[in-house]
Structures are given as C-alpha cells and as structure tokens.
Amino acid sequence: MRRAIGVRIREFRRILEGVVKKLEVKLGPHPYNPYQQIPIEGKLTLATKDEERTLRVSGDFVGEMLARGVTEGDVVWIDLETYRIHRVGKARGYASFDLYGERLIEVPSGPLEKEREFVYTVTLHDLDVMHSRSGSLISLLFGSYERREISSETRKRVDETVRQWVDEGRAELLPGVLFIDDVHMLDIEAFSFLSRAMESELSPIIILATNRGITRIRGTDVVSPHGIPRDLLDRLLIIRTKPYTADEIREILKIRAREEGVELEDAALEALVKIGVEESLRYAAQLLTPAKILAELRGLSKVDVTSVTEAARLFISMRESSAYLKKMESAFLK
C-alpha cells in the first residue's frame, strides 16, 4: 500500500551548470599503497556561452567526476550544497568524434551559478526505507545500514513529514492503485490490517478481485460472501459482473487470434464461440494455438473447423476433466 502512494517533491537548489572546458588532475601515491596513484587535487574550468570560471577541486571531487565518466566537453550540474555532480551529456561544438552513442546538447547560456527547480517522485515506501536506515549505529560507524523491519513509528513519522511538505507547498500526493487479485486468499489478520489501512488519509485506491462465492474466511470458521469479512464488504463499492455473451466472446476471440497471428475461417470462429459459451472463454482462447499447429500440419494457412474439433478432442476442458475423474475415480490414488 505504501508503494502505491507517490510523493512528488519540488525543491530549489543552487547549482553550477556549464560545460567542462578543461580538466587537470594531479595524481599522488595512495596512503596505503605507494604503488597506486590516486587523484589528490585538480583544476576544473567550467564555461557557458556568457561566463567562464576556473575552480580548484579536491581529490575526492575529482574521483567522483572520474567515477561518473565526466570528461572535457561534458555538460554537468554541480550542487553547491552537497557538491554532488551530475553529467547531463556531451556539448555540441566540443565533439572530438564524428559519431557518439548519445545525442549532443547545446552549451548552457547565462551565468554559471543559478537556481534550478528539481522535481522527483518517490513512494511512501521509499521514504520509509530511508528513515528506517538513518540513526543506526552501523550506519554511523561504517556508512552502511542494517536490514530491519520498518516500524509503525517510522511510518507515522514519514506521514507527518509528508503532510508538512504538502502544507508548505513543497510536495503533492499522487495516490496510485493497488490491485489485489484472489483476495479470498488473505486471512482474517490481513483483512483486519487492510480494513484499518483503508481508513488512513494516506491510502491508495484499492481494487479487490475474487472468483469465490459463499466460502469460509481463512483463519476462521466464519462463512461469508467471497471469503471477505462482512464489515469490510460494507465499505466497498462492489462491481456487478455477468457472464460473457456469444457476441462478446466472438469479439474477444478475434482480438486474441489477431494478437497471436492465428487466421480463422468463419466456421472455425463460430465453433470456438460455441465452445466458449458451453465451456469457458479461457478454454476457447487456449485452443487457438493448438488448432493453428494442427492446421499447419495439414498444409492449411487458415484454421478450419476440423482443426478446432481435433484440438478440443486432444485437450479437454475443466468440466470434461472433472467428469472423467468422477467416472474413473476408483482407478486413481487418493
């Protein structure tokens, strides 16, 4: 449910944006390995169409640039608060090759230092994970994080932070859709959690699907429609469903045959429609590929009635399988 709720965050950052006109790197011995050379400092010349500036940078910054594949002629962003660098692409006019594996971009104009709005979207679960990793002794000593369960206190703290961001206009909520198929497989504890979570302000649109009728709720002896507790059913908008008609089955089989590259004769299509009405639409759709193979073995380009009948004889339906099991019940192991 937390993954189904997005938070679009807008943030203004002071950055340096320009093309790397010149990059000089000074190497020195590694403090623990004198035979290995590492960058200890460097000079970076950034330029736009209107301004140019040369900056002295540390060895760590040079190492990050090299790790991100920044070279001369690249357009970069440098965050002035975190000093993180982001490579945008290769600048037009600084090309040293005739062909690149990426599109060339224009050299930025205006001053080097500017304020830019960054918009990025995360989920509530991403924020939960981020907050649960902070404050750990392992992360404090080793810069790592320990894997642990996200507590309800952490989720509550994230919810309060998100509400504050929304009130300040820094973020907006993007409720998504959570689809739970075969919802009758949930037990009573899961239904209790789901019922409580649905009442939260930060809740996505939830769609529940099931093919069960009156059945027992898992984890209890209570019988309820669809295997769902009645108090939860009372909070849902229930969509009425009905069996497919012959015309609807015909159109669905046409679409399925077109997607699978199966050409059907009119009589073969009507035979599949009859099977779909008497048995099930899924069974009729599954016969398309076997019928096509049988038609190709007979040298036909289109599936005919004989191929459909033969496929239905080789691969029986669920109803026929159940009838066969009842008939031959004594021959099977229990």
Residue (of 294, 292, 296, 297) closest to 262 by Cα position: 292
For residue 101, what pLDDT is reported?
65
**Per-chain mean pLDDT for the chain:** 86
| SS3 of residue 329 by DSSP | helix
For residue 223, what pLDDT is reported?
93
Residues 256 and 313 in one domain: yes
Domain membership flag for residue 317? yes
Instruction: Retrieve residue 138's tokens.
Output: 């392992």
Residues 100 and 29 in one domain: yes
Domain membership flag for residue 3? no
* Predicted TM-score (pTM) above 0.85: no
What integer is the mean pLDDT of 72-94? 84
pLDDT in tens, 245-268: 999 999 999 999 999 999 999 999
For residue 136, what pLDDT is reported?
45
Confidence of residue 99 (pLDDT cuts 50, 70, 90): low
List the CATH number of the domain containing 272. Answer: 1.10.8.60
Domain around 146: 123-172
* Most confident listed range (102-116, 129-143, 310-324): 310-324
Q: Give the pairing of strands 177-180 and 205-208.
A: parallel
Tally: H helices and E strands in the chain: 12, 11
Residues 68 and 150 in one domain: no
Residues 77 and 148 in one domain: no
Residues 109 and 15 in one domain: yes
Please classify residue 141 by burial: count the beta carbons closer than 10 Å to its beta carbon, then call 0-12 exposed, 13-18 middle and 19+ buried: exposed
Domain membership flag for residue 186? yes
DSSP assignment letter at 135: T
Domain count across the chain: 4
Residues 27 and 64 in one domain: yes
Instruction: Retrieve residue 215's tokens.
Output: 């059945």
